[in-house]
Amino acid sequence: MPDDTVEAGDTGATAPAARRRRLTLRRKPARPSALAQRWTTVEGVKLHYRESPGPPGGATMTHLHGFGLSGSYLVPTAELLADDFHTLVPDLPGFGRSGRSPSPLGVEGLAHAAASFLDERQVATTTMVGNSMGCAVICEFAHHHPDRLDRAVLVAPAGGLHNQPLGKALGQLMIDSVREPPSLIKVAVPDYLRFGVPSTMRLFRALTQFPALDRLLEIDVPTLVVIGRSDPLMPGPTRVKEVAGRTANSVLLVVIDGAAHAINFSHPGELSNVIRQFMTDQPIVDDPNSPGQARAYEIHRGEHLPGTT
């Protein structure tokens, strides 16, 4: 690819050579993604999603995004797992590049939309990885389609009383915004603007009415919960551990020091390593290959989890 060049400081043929500079901007070729961009139609709505073929005969892993966002910010983690799993990252109806349903969808509607998307892709069962609101969608999916969920990975499962009322949640989001990588801005802002204020108000109201804790306690498949130590939208690890202990002893709770809310984007190395160990029933060991000061470790392991002695 030829370089793009910009002439700087050129004042004409008579300008001294010392005042002439040529600034050459070299474009780095984009790294090919492990996920292909695809489109389909689900119940009359045009749906955008990302997909990797995964290993032949491999299990399917579906990644579900959070409030107001598309699946774009989930891609860093999804890409790192794409060699191990048939990977799907949809933009649910009304989010990202997908079309809107005729009627606005709440959590239950989004869970049914996820099921319809999997039907269209001929996926009978899947592991689901959600972030923030995506965790509520997974819990609702498990409530209505328990036989279709292999395992659940709930990353920063916000959306309960800790985030109410709306003013409190907005304040938490402002605090979180300065704890996330600056590169998240160019990914998140277009999604939020596209989602719009009316949709934000409507869906937040639906989330306040969602029985998040009841649905979480119902899940009876192996479940991994990952929280960031610096996440202002989540209660502290002690409170989360207390809730985890009230389930049917099938929950693994992991903390990532140095992470805030959008862990799938900010710490894909640590998160994908934790997910891979969970999927193979291994003890959680911090990934020495992930740079920085982040550290992953488990603080609760249900006694009935596979591989637990």
Q: What pTM does this model have?
A: 0.84
Give me the chain's average pLDDT, please: 85
Query: Are the CB atoms for 222 and 303 separated by under 8 Å?
Result: no
CATH number for position 200: 3.40.50.1820
Q: Tell me whether residue 13 is in a domain.
A: no
Stretch among 47-56, 77-86, 127-136, 245-254 having the lowest mean pLDDT: 245-254
Q: How confident is the model at residue 153 (pLDDT cuts 50, 70, 90)?
A: very high
Instruction: Of 11-25, 140-154, 226-240, give the range with the top mean pLDDT.
Output: 140-154
Instruction: Of 47-61, 124-138, 190-204, give the range with the top mean pLDDT.
Output: 124-138
Q: In the chain, how many domains are there?
A: 1
Give the β-pairing of 45-52 and 86-90: antiparallel
pLDDT for 4 equals 37
- The residues, any chain, with a CB within 8 Å of residue 20's CB and separated by 6 or more, are 9, 10
* Region label for 57, one of left (φ > 0), alpha (ψ between -120 and 50) or beta (otherwise): left
pLDDT for 60 equals 97
* Cα–Cα dist 303/251, whole Å: 9
Q: pLDDT, tens digit, for every residue of 266-309?
A: 999 999 999 999 999 998 988 877 766 677 878 778 877 876 65
Q: Tell me whether residue 285 is in a domain.
A: yes
Please list, residue by residue across 72-82, b when 16 or more beta carbons sit within 10 angstroms of its beta carbon and e when fewer do. Answer: bbbbbbbbbbb
Q: Tell me whether residue 29 is in a domain.
A: no
Residue 77's domain spans which residues? Answer: 34-301
Q: Tell me whether residue 26 is in a domain.
A: no
Q: Tell me whether residue 83 is in a domain.
A: yes
Q: Could you tell me the maximum CA-CA distance found in the chain, to the nearest angstrom?
A: 83
Burial of 99 (0-12, 13-18, 19+ CB in 10 A): middle
Name the more confident of 65 and 33: 65
For residue 23, pLDDT over 50 is answered with no
Assign 3-class secondary structure to 166-231. Answer: HHHHHHHHHHHHCCCCHHHHHHHHHHHHHHCHHHHHHHHHHHHCCCHHHHHHHCCCCEEEEEECCC
* Cα–Cα dist 180/178, whole Å: 6
* Edge-first strand listing for the sheet containing 86-90: 36-42, 45-52, 86-90, 60-64, 126-131, 149-155, 223-228, 251-257, 295-301
Name the more confident of 183 and 6: 183
Q: Tell me whether residue 210 is in a domain.
A: yes
Q: Kindly state the percentage of the chain with pLDDT values over 70.
A: 86
Q: Tell me whether residue 18 is in a domain.
A: no
For residue 24, pLDDT over 80 is answered with no
The half-sphere exposure of 76 on its side-chain side, counting CA atoms within 13 A, is: 16
* Cα–Cα dist 47/52, whole Å: 16
In 3D, which of 49, 19, 23 has the Cα closest to residue 37?
Answer: 49
pLDDT for 248 equals 58
Q: pLDDT, tens digit, for every residue of 214-227?
A: 888 888 899 999 99
Q: How confident is the model at residue 179 (pLDDT cuts 50, 70, 90)?
A: very high
For residue 60, the one-letter residue type is T
pLDDT for 6 equals 37
Query: Are the CB atoms for 37 and 50 separated by under 8 Å?
Result: yes
pLDDT for 19 equals 44
Residues 236-244 have a mean pLDDT of: 77
